[in-house]
Structure 1
């Protein structure tokens, strides 16, 4: 059979593929922010950083700065913008401190109301009703395991409904992977979709990662789906599996009894979670900064060791440095091709040709197109 005929049978129809024009442009970016990022439950961080009274985390959801604050054990989410002269309130990704605007010192309470206004009597004369009208815009916040999510628009299904069966996966991962060993934010000159797609297939591994990820997994990719979300499973190479067996035994690291291969999850739209041999968890978000830029925020976790004497030891630090360096190298390789792809997308009109080896990308495209078409 002619190769072109065979390819056309296996490829996905063009109307199921995101057009290249939708990967750039301010109008597309604004529409996407409104229809996708404002309506979905968005992962913003971990309860690890919200354990104590006045602990906070901040995040940017497609141009909206969000603050999640612990008020005596009650998590609340607000627009992280002072209603006086519009400075951001908390300037750090996480920390401890009351919501106090750094510009003029306005203090906001658990209801988002400015209850401390320097010079109010002399300069503003705001009574309680006026102060309530200046309350911070509040957003929905929900937690699954240790994963914290925020939704900017209140209408729609709850978090558990959006996650479906993957909610239990987050519970399991939260119980097991408690020790954060690396974290960083990498600016990529690529649309977030082009960046994310590099994580949704292993077809690119031989060409993009010939000295790294190619030797990490076997070329088998079994995919499954849960609503808008997806999972891809690939067997680790024999050498990688032996390495993780040895490290887990020597360090006393716990391993998942459910995830024994390389298990990769996409929680739509932009949360990617990879688990290696049940012993390492990688959490990545591809956060849009603009139509042509995104921030890749990554975190690496292992479980709490059953051999406390290894905690902080030279061998443990060497393993963590090895894993962190390997991860950063792979991300750098993906960045190179994602940025090259973004440049190419701006020069063409026809939709990409997606083969059966890229079925998770096709599923992601279908979910994105459905969200963008919804009223």
Structure 2
């Protein structure tokens, strides 16, 4: 069957601009780990939907604001992560936990704002939703109900697995020269593994591959419980799901020092629409990959990796995490080379992809995407 998406959906600047307004400024987007924001005044900064976003621990509650001072549009926080009060570094304005201006140095002498003018001196605030250790942000003034994007069942599973996250995490951002949708489609496409990753990921699969599906995540819910294509197209929430597959995990001494998730050596794979792939190897390590759109042919792949919560102190944990992240980046580089080649050879007159039956998840995601793009709502 022909793909629902044309080459223009991966090439056109106007379509890309519409994606920002109708997808990324309407849907809930993963923004940070809750563990990174645990301390008072801890913050994280991100660009989401083309907008600068500040997540700040405000007296124990995570709140999200536009990271722009209303005075001269200077970002309040410039680092990716840190711990500091919300104060503008340019002219010293300080904001309270509601995002309202608290103090302005030499206010009466230099600014002379009226009472009405001062009332409007506040940071734009965004909706926040926490699911376990995952923090999501919605940029819309009238946010989509969270349950319409992520089912309550999926939320419960996410809360359970992410409750095992350790405090330490490592991060990396990798630039790529392809459209963000290609990477999301790639993680939905289990059939590429034996061809693109024969020496890295494929050997980990406990059952091996004698056909396209054996030993790999099936299309559906937990353990391959399938949903009909029609049902997936009808519900935005059905675009986000998880699978579990047997996997080979080499035992290491540090495994006995953490509280792992689950009951065995499984590969847990969560697809969080529109642009996050969250995986866990045996409930021991946890990786979030976010495919952040920069341009029609540019994506930033954001990696966040942590281990399961320590039951005793592991001095070598930072080195362990960086080692695992290096391996994950190596796997992505194998995908990256092919996806960049795919992107570079696309052109306006190129034919649409010819999907097979196993690619029903790609058809389903495309149907949800087109509905959002055309109507601006699920």
Band of TM-score, shorter chain: 0.7 to 0.9
> Residue 339 of structure 1 aligns with which residue?
340
The change in CA–CA distance for 1:371 and 1:201 in structure 2 (over 3 A counts) is same
Rounded Cα–Cα distance in structure 1 between residues aligned with 2:239 and 2:194: 28
Q: 1:223 aligns with which of 203, 219, 223?
A: 219
Check conservation: 2:94, 2:103, Cα contact below 8 A: yes
Alpha-carbon shift at residue 228 of structure 1 (Å):
2.1
Rounded Cα–Cα distance in structure 1 between residues aligned with 2:143 and 2:102: 32
Greater shift, 344-353 or 34-43, is seen at 344-353
The change in CA–CA distance for 1:230 and 1:367 in structure 2 (over 3 A counts) is farther
Tell me how many residue pairs correspond in the alignment: 352
CA RMSD of aligned residues (A): 2.3
Q: 2:155 aligns with which of 141, 146, 167?
A: 167
> Residue 57 of structure 1 aligns with which residue?
44
The change in CA–CA distance for 1:249 and 1:70 in structure 2 (over 3 A counts) is closer
> Residue 312 of structure 1 aligns with which residue?
315
Q: 2:75 aligns with which of 88, 94, 99?
A: 88
- TM-score of the pair, normalised by structure 1: 0.86
Rounded Cα–Cα distance in structure 1 between residues aligned with 2:10 and 2:354: 16
The change in CA–CA distance for 1:286 and 1:71 in structure 2 (over 3 A counts) is same
What SS does the corresponding residue of 1:336 show, helix, strand or coil? helix
Check conservation: 1:62, 1:289, Cα contact below 8 A: no
Rounded Cα–Cα distance in structure 1 between residues aligned with 2:168 and 2:108: 47
Alignment of 1:232-247 (within 5 A): 232-236=243-247, 240-241=248-249, 243=250, 246-247=251-252
Alpha-carbon shift at residue 179 of structure 1 (Å):
4.6
The change in CA–CA distance for 1:71 and 1:19 in structure 2 (over 3 A counts) is same
Alpha-carbon shift at residue 318 of structure 1 (Å):
6.7
> Residue 116 of structure 2 aligns with which residue?
129
Alignment of 1:21-100 (within 5 A): 21-100=8-87
What SS does the corresponding residue of 2:202 show, helix, strand or coil? helix
Alpha-carbon shift at residue 130 of structure 1 (Å):
1.0
Rounded Cα–Cα distance in structure 2 between residues aligned with 1:250 and 1:70: 31
Alpha-carbon shift at residue 177 of structure 1 (Å):
2.5
The change in CA–CA distance for 1:254 and 1:264 in structure 2 (over 3 A counts) is same
Alpha-carbon shift at residue 78 of structure 1 (Å):
1.0
The change in CA–CA distance for 1:144 and 1:160 in structure 2 (over 3 A counts) is farther
Q: Deviations over 1:254-273 (max 9, x none)?
A: 33336742221111101111
Structure 2 segments unaligned to the other structure (5+ residues)? 222-236
